[in-house]
Chains A and B, each alone.
Chain A
């Protein structure tokens, strides 16, 4: 296990290893996405209070979950980058920032589009929405660090520290609807004897959430491979593998 992880941390080895996985991951993402869309849009029943507009849940909730999940992955990679100084974890930090910012922006936009017909307003400065907006700014900050500091390894160190400090925002987002009164509905109770979402609506949501997970892993690997190719563009292994094609 440790031997495998050690080999994987070599950029060349990771590039070759990940190349085998990308097409399968993308295929699985597409299948899950199609099943989830079909199930959520056509099979799942309408909501007894909200009617059809609740179907926004199938893109909003997976985006919002991913916006936090990607942040935790990024901060974890930042910790590894600071402690062990591995280049691969530095690349994870910089590539996660852009993907995470996309998910966060999607969560905010789809949330606004859900809020208008449901609450009568696109936006309110309550704890859930404000803390999610702060998450977006944290991602922007980490992206900015990478574009302002030219030396990639220095940039990675600063970005990692920022990512680790920003983790404090994640439990704030999660518990914001419990700690403060909000327009936003409370968190779903999934692990309980009486789940707060009926299976006919929950299963398509879980399929969509899994599809988003696979999308994230696929895009992260693709982006990391690009970053490796760029960083290593003057090395012999990159030149040789190109000459072979």
Chain B
């Protein structure tokens, strides 16, 4: 049996958009989707795709990418397929507009994972660049009784267990855990591979499986959020920068040192 890997990937607003394009609609408590700027797969989730493909490079494995959301862009969501993943499953429901609660997302994804027949290894990004919740994969591990390793920068599988180089404040530790396992990964995993032309062609031909909340048989009570979004706003930061100048850059550097001395900072 090939190793059954599922990767969680979320579609997000491109975090690299200029500040001027980032707008909050405070009345409706939502972030305005910027026009003409295509959405992307969350960066840490691309690291997760890369981690799964590194495993697939060295052993027999299937990689299914699972996502939940609304307003999917196929250009964005097919990128993991173009990189080399095998299947794409999208849970699409208008009820997920502006979902800020990880608990609902966790339950929906657990239902989808059960429908898919479970997993040997679930890999996900450490957090999404939109709501920065960093909760869903860990919740899935709890609800499905899988072992759990966070913040991986290298993921390998063998002998029924996963071996992860896990980032800790002092450096990293090597952790092993039995399958089925949930592993979150971070950008330290390295640059995700670029899709090849052949990969892009193959991805074009593949059809995503699309399910709604109804298809998953999730009861309305399980869709009740456990968090309320009360307010959403842009924090005000009014700081005046004192630009230190000089006849040339060297002098500006010297003047900066003198200024910091005068302010008793050094």
A in complex with B: no
